Amino acid sequence: MSLEREGGCLCGAVRFKAVLTGTNFGVCHCPMCRKWTGSALLGITVPEGNVEWVGIEHIAKRQSSAWGERAWCSDCGSALWFRVTVDVPYAGNLELPVGLFDDANGLTMTNEIYIDHKPDSYAFAGTGRNVLTRAQCVEKFPLLAGAE
C-alpha cells in the first residue's frame, strides 16, 4: 500500500499530496472538533513537511485556541487541518481529516478521544482502539487543561 495520498476540499479549490508516516488515525469528540466538523474529527497525523498544497490562496486559518489553529477552504468551507501552534513534542504535525483523501481505504482507526463528550446518538463499530476521556487526554497532554 502506498503511503502517498492525494485529496482536496469539496469544491476542488484546495488540493494536496501527503506522504503518510503510517495508516493509523484517530477520532476526536471534543466540543471544538464537533463544532468545526459538524460531527467528530476523524484525523490522521501527518508531519507538516510531508504535505504539498495547491490552491493555498483559498486556505483560511484561525487560531482556535491558545495552542492550536484550524484551517479550511475559504470557498466551500471544507475543514483542512488542525495544527498545534505551541512548542511541544507533538508540534509540527497536521491532523488531516480522512474524508479529504481521494482514497481513504487501508486506514485504521486506533484512537478515540474525548469519548465522554461524544453524543449518545452515534457510535463507531469495532473494538480494539485506545479510548480516552477528556480527563485522560488532559493527563496525557497538559496543555488541554484550559481547552473546551
Q: What is the CATH number of the domain that holds 60?
A: 2.170.150.70
What is the DSSP annotation of 24-51? EEEEE--HHHHHHHSS-EEEEEEEGGGE
User: Is pTM beyond 0.95 here?
Assistant: no
Question: Distance between CA atoms of 128 and 51, rounded to whole angstroms?
Answer: 29
Question: What is the domain range of residue 105?
Answer: 4-146
CA angle 104, 107, 113 (to 5 degrees): 110
Instruction: Read off the C-alpha cell for 16.
Output: 494536496
- What SS3 class is residue 67? coil
**Cα of 108 vs its chain's centroid, Å:** 14
DSSP lists the bridge partners of residue 6 as: 17
Residue 71: the pLDDT is 98
Mean pLDDT per block of 10 residues along the chain (148 residues) reads 90 98 96 94 97 98 93 98 90 95 96 96 93 92 71
